[in-house]
Amino acid sequence: MTVAEIFETRKRPVSFEIFPPKGDLSVDEARSVVSELAELTPDFISVTYSAGGGGNVGATTEVAHMISHEFEIPSVAHLTCQGLTRAGLAEKVEEFRAAGIENVLALRGDPRPDLPAGDFEHASDLIGPLVDAGFCVGAAAYPEGHIDCLDVDEDVRHLKEKQDAGASFLVTQLFFDDDCFYRFRERTIHAGITIPITCGIMPFLSKKQVSRMIFMCGASLPSPIIKLLARYEGDAEALREAGIEYASDQLVDLARHGVDGLHVYTMNHPDIARANVGAIRA
Ligand code: FAD
């Protein structure tokens, strides 16, 4: 089933992101994560992609295949432009087809100077060829603007280009302040973006993780989170629980505000997904 069909036929789909095993780790590791996530009956699961170096390029396809064929849950394989040539894309298309993959999240990826230059600069350049090859294609959206783009309106214009290129759905970067998303949603409506936007939420688990994320993606850190980080500084377990609870509250608030979908960045921790989904369904 394609993600476009899921958004057309189901109310507010709930989905997860996982990452495939790296290096020599076996796909069985991902299988045990997916089997726990499957119990939560997500509408789809997306699988990240690392363009070389991480050792999991092929694993994205293998894990996405496993999700849809062994667990009968629609899957989305991520793909980035980094180092990708036209010939490389043709090979990927064949690999995806052979694995029965229907949905692809087209991304630029973060610049990789260690890789040879590819033929695709932006995600929007990758979307058309993937749509032409018969895939249902999604793309990334940034409620607070992409970190490279100082003008949020310009970023939204580039987002519209993804829809114009044929994207059928959008998945947002993480955000910790739902009001940022509601303002962004207004902007997308004014820009003529009509495809569904599912909200990506990542629970904070530690101060180190939060710092890395905010500097990597430019998400703002609301003061309630700063206070929780200060309060539980010496208690890792309590901080983790507070992070999961904060994310659950965010998801419930988003559902109440009628967002199109909810997407949990599980970081391969099924207990996070379980707590978040429990809160949404309750
Ligand atoms: P683009 O859409 O190309 O945008 C990048 C920047 O260029 C933005 O500032 C944008 O405003 C600007 N821009 C876009 N189009 C144009 C244009 N035509 N002219 C000029 N400027 C333009 N990374 C991975 O490596 N693997 C993953 O699996 C992965 N999964 C992700 C999943 C989600 C849901 C999200 C939100 C991000 C993910 N990322 C992943 C990270 C992503 O690759 C980075 O955020 C990357 O820096 C931007 O990717 P993009 O597809 O949004 O790029």
Which residues, including other chains, have CB under 8 Å from residue 18's CB and lie 6 or more apart? Answer: 30, 33, 34, 37, 45, 46, 47, 48, 63, 266, 268
Which residues, including other chains, have CB under 8 Å from residue 4's CB and lie 6 or more apart? Answer: 136, 168, 169
Question: Which region holds residue 185: left if phi is over 0, alpha if psi is between -120 and 50, else beta?
Answer: alpha
Q: Which helix (H) or strand (E) holds 250?
A: helix 236-256
- Asked whether the predicted pLDDT for residue 269 surpasses 80, the reply is yes
Q: What is the pLDDT of residue 54?
A: 57
What's the chain's average pLDDT? 95
- Asked whether the predicted pLDDT for residue 46 surpasses 90, the reply is yes
> Residues 39-57, buried b or exposed e (16+ Cβ, 10 A)?
ebebbbbbbbbbbeeeebb
Span 114-127, average pLDDT: 94
Q: What is the pLDDT of residue 22?
A: 74
Q: How far is the CA of 105 from the centre of ligand 1 (A)?
A: 11
List of E strands, the chain: 14-18, 44-47, 75-80, 103-107, 136-141, 169-172, 197-201, 261-265
Structure tokens at 216: 């990597």
User: pLDDT confidence of 24, banded at 50, 70, 90?
Assistant: low
User: pLDDT confidence of 52, banded at 50, 70, 90?
Assistant: low
User: pLDDT confidence of 27, banded at 50, 70, 90?
Assistant: confident
Establish whether 72 is a catalytic residue.
Answer: no
Of these residues, 5, 8, 17, 241, which one is catalytic? 17
Span of 56-60, 84-88, 128-132, 275-279 with lowest mean pLDDT = 56-60
Span of 19-33, 81-95, 185-199 with lowest mean pLDDT = 19-33
In tens, the pLDDT along 184-228 reads 999 999 999 999 999 999 999 999 999 999 999 999 999 999 999
Residue nearest to atom 43 of ligand 1 (CA): 109
Span 108-121, average pLDDT: 91
Q: What is the pLDDT of residue 173?
A: 98
Q: What is the pLDDT of residue 16?
A: 98
User: pLDDT confidence of 55, banded at 50, 70, 90?
Assistant: low
Structure tokens at 8: 């057309």
- Asked whether the predicted pLDDT for residue 57 surpasses 80, the reply is no
- Residue 109 CB-half CA count within 13 A: 22
Strand partners, 78: 105
Q: Pocket of ligand 1, candidates 146, 169, 193, 216: which has the most ligand atoms within 8 Å of its Cβ, to mutate?
A: 146
Strand partners, 136: 103
Give the position, in ligand 1's atom list, of the atom nearest the Cα of 200.
34
Q: Pocket of ligand 1, candidates 127, 158, 202, 267: which has the most ligand atoms within 8 Å of its Cβ, to mutate?
A: 158
In tens, the pLDDT along 31-44 reads 999 999 999 999 99
User: pLDDT confidence of 278, banded at 50, 70, 90?
Assistant: very high
Span 231-258, average pLDDT: 96
Domain positions in the chain are: 3-281
CATH domain 3-281 topology: TIM Barrel (3.20.20)
In tens, the pLDDT along 158-194 reads 999 999 999 999 999 999 999 999 999 999 999 999 9
User: pLDDT confidence of 29, banded at 50, 70, 90?
Assistant: confident
